[in-house]
Structure 1
Amino acid sequence: MSTSSVADAPSPATATRPVRGRLELDIGVRGSRSVASRQFHEGALRVLRPHYLDNSGQVSYVVVNPGGAYLGADLFVLDVEVGDGADLLLTTQSATKVYRTPGSFAEQRMTVRLGEGARLELVPDQLIAYREASYRQRTHITVRPSSCLLMAEVVTPGWSPDGAAFRYEEVRLRNEIQVQSGTGEPELLALDNLLIRPPGGDVTGLGFMEGFSHLGSVIVVDCRVDQALADELHRLTGAYKALSGISLTQTVAGTTGLVLRALSNSTGELNRLLTACANLLRERWYGQGPLNLRKH
């Protein structure tokens, strides 16, 4: 896993590939609730009707891919805007499954904008990369100094006929987070690149996956993020069968980012760990109960 500060623009070939699914979702405030002020979908992406999982006013949307999988050269594009004071919980109906991608990788591009006092919890089901799969995910996020962002994701290898893990070709996750304060240009808060390329070497060895097969990540951006919170989350992860590490970003315009990585051999264990982190923040910052997505 690596972190870089160099821009990574799509090549002309990937920039012009056809879009297989597109979703646009804008969230605003109506009365005491957050609601969709605009939504658009075409192709192989859509959202289910909204739910309110508690009385906080936070709206919950579930993204659905009726095709059920990402294949070679597939491109999915998502654009999400959470307006001033609005609150969105965004998840997926099921795991993102990437199957064999001969010829070209599957790709997801996501753009997120958070207004002043806006909040987004982005908690998709796990990403499963199967044999000979290649997948790239680019997420570009712009927050305001008073925004709150939480992202949680698990990457797991799919089943291989010989029972071996890490038979996919490549998984590349790139998160670029900027802070917009005032009317000037946004400032870079974090550029987080994660690249796993199993054919290039033994990624299960020491110094990379440390003998584990599954990886989980949590990213938090909020003006309340500090070293004390990082220490508390690190202590919390000690209760789980996972190897974890936490780092903090620089502070930009009064807001700070936190990145947690966890390694395990179990999707369930990583999901429990990431959910515990989310629940701690939900209760402390918003007085909400534990995350319960009610998808099944």
Structure 2
Amino acid sequence: MTYTGYLELEVGKKHDRSVITNSYFDGVFKITRPTYSPGGLPLLTLIHVGGGYVDGDSYKTKVLVNESSRLALTTQASTKVYKSPRFGVSQTMDFYLKNNSELYVKQDSLIPYKDAIFTQYINVYMSSSAVFYYTDIITPGWSEDGKSFQYTKVASKLKIFMDGELAVFDHQLLQPCGQFEKIMYLEGYSHIGSMFFIHKHMNQSHIEELREQLGSYSKHIRVGISCLPVNGMVVRLLAHSTPVIESIFSKCEEFIRKHLYNDEKIEWRKG
């Protein structure tokens, strides 16, 4: 199959340092040269040179993080999905995390415009000793008539396999149809944020403490934090703007880095 954008990455250890051992990209996908945090974590930025996703586009990302290796992957800018009523747009991301590896994925917001159809598949194959961190944000695109939620459908399926067994399955399906403003839908909020974090030392007491810390934001957002069937959590946010969700995710990351690493949060520099 020919993809509109294709990216393949492999990370390994060399001289006690995580390095990119193999990379290949094709189509509209490009990557920056890695930058390194003071702790030696390599950060790569994914660049889309096409300007946006259009009808019939398909994208594939494959990342392998080998034993005891680490990688942080982010995007250069928001992902814009334009009118795509015939074929829609599809994106697949496959992540492979070996023993004691760490992968941090932070995406800028997805912006579906009028009549956009977007389907995303995220598959994570990880060891129980690995660490996985993932965030995404969905922001409704601008429309000429000023109305919200003009996109047709946004679907995201995330599957996390741990030691070969399906541990987490999350299906987020958004089909506005004029319903989102009503009770039991988004109830007046326009932006949705999701964060998944899995770490063998993450426990219920951590989650309770984080809930307490985020309680002060309850006047401006809706936030829910749930335990996963494995050691980890999922955070869901409803808000009125992307920066608000980004700031909450930053607070969550700061909490994680402090309590589980005794370190500062990742510096997500843009290339």
Query: TM-score interval w.r.t. the shorter chain?
Result: over 0.9
**Which structure 2 residues correspond to residues 1-296 of structure 1 after superposition, within 5 A?**
18-52=2-36, 54-180=37-163, 186-199=164-177, 201-240=178-217, 241-251=220-230, 256-295=231-270
Q: Give CA-to-partner distance per residue, 1:171-215, whole Å, 9 cap, x none.
A: 1011000111xxxxx11110000000012x412222121210000
Match of 1:4 in 2: none
Q: CA deviation at 1:99?
A: 0.7
CA distance in 1, matches of 2:5, 2:27: 4
Q: Give CA-to-partner distance per residue, 1:36-74, whole Å, 9 cap, x none.
A: 01101111112111001x221110000011012111110
Q: CA deviation at 1:294?
A: 2.2
Q: Give CA-to-partner distance per residue, 1:200-239, whole Å, 9 cap, x none.
A: x412222121210000011011112221122122223223
1:86 partner letter? S
Listed as ranges, the gaps of 5+ residues in structure 2 are: none
Q: CA deviation at 1:259?
A: 1.1
Q: Give CA-to-partner distance per residue, 1:154-178, whole Å, 9 cap, x none.
A: 1110111111110001110110001
Q: CA deviation at 1:286?
A: 2.4
Look up the SS of the partner of 2:232 in the other structure: strand
CA distance in 1, matches of 2:176, 2:46: 29
CA distance in 2, matches of 1:63, 1:287: 28
CA contact (8 A) 1:56 1:288 kept: no
CA distance in 1, matches of 2:94, 2:19: 19
CA distance in 2, matches of 1:262, 1:238: 12
Look up the SS of the partner of 1:111 in the other structure: strand
Look up the SS of the partner of 1:275 in the other structure: helix
Displacement over 3 Å in runs of 4+: none
CA distance in 2, matches of 1:205, 1:33: 51
Q: Which stretch of the first structure deviates more once superposed, 203-212 or 60-69?
A: 203-212
Match of 1:6 in 2: none
Look up the SS of the partner of 2:35 in the other structure: coil
Q: CA deviation at 1:267?
A: 0.6
CA contact (8 A) 1:169 1:197 kept: yes
CA distance in 2, matches of 1:287, 1:46: 33
TM-score (norm 1): 0.87
CA distance in 1, matches of 2:67, 2:25: 23
Q: CA deviation at 1:111?
A: 0.3
CA contact (8 A) 1:150 1:278 kept: no
Give % identity: 30
CA distance in 1, matches of 2:202, 2:182: 32
